[in-house]
Amino acid sequence: MNAAVALIVVLIVALLLGMPIIWSLALASVVSIALNPDLQYVIIAQRLFAGSDSFALLAVPAFMLAGDIMSKGGLSKRLVGFANAFFGWISGGLSIVALMSCTFFAAISGSSVATTAAIGGILHPEMVKKGYPSDYSAAVQAVGGTLGIVIPPSIVFVIYGNVTGVSISGLLMSGIIPGVLAGILLCVYAWYAAKKNNWPKEERFSASVAATATKDAIWALLMPIIILGGIYAGIFTPTESAVVAVFYGLLVCLLVYREMSAKTLWEILKGTAVSTANIMMLVVTAQVFGYLITYYNIPSAVAAWFMSFCTSKFLFLVLTIILLTIAGMFMDNGSIILILGPILAPLAVMYGVDPIHYGLLVVFVLAMGQVTPPFGTCMFVACGISGRPVSGVAKALMPFIGVELACAFLVAFVPFLSLFLPNLLK
Average pLDDT over all residues of the chain: 81
Contact 256, 219 (CB under 8 A): yes
> Average pLDDT, stretch 121-131?
78
Per residue in 255-306, pLDDT (tens digit) is 888 878 888 888 888 887 887 777 777 777 877 887 787 778 776 676 677 6
d(CA 201, CA 90): 6
d(CA 372, CA 97): 22
pLDDT at res. 407: 94
The percentage of the chain sitting over the pLDDT mark of 70, rounded to a whole number, equals 91
Total residues found in the chain within this entry: 426
Question: Which of 76-80, 238-242, 351-355, 377-381 holds the top average pLDDT?
Answer: 351-355
Confidence of residue 181 (pLDDT cuts 50, 70, 90): very high
Per residue in 41-99, pLDDT (tens digit) is 888 787 777 767 666 667 667 777 777 777 677 776 777 777 777 777 777 777 887 88
Contact 353, 320 (CB under 8 A): no
Task: Show the CA angle centred on residue 164, arms to residues 147 and 411, nearest 5°.
Answer: 40
pLDDT at res. 300: 66
Q: What is the pTM of this model?
A: 0.74
Residue 28 CB partners (closer than 8 Å, separation 6+) = 6, 7, 8, 10, 11, 14, 289
d(CA 133, CA 139): 10
| Closest of 123, 84, 127, 92 to residue 198, by C-alpha | 92
Per residue in 383-394, pLDDT (tens digit) is 877 888 878 888
d(CA 75, CA 128): 23
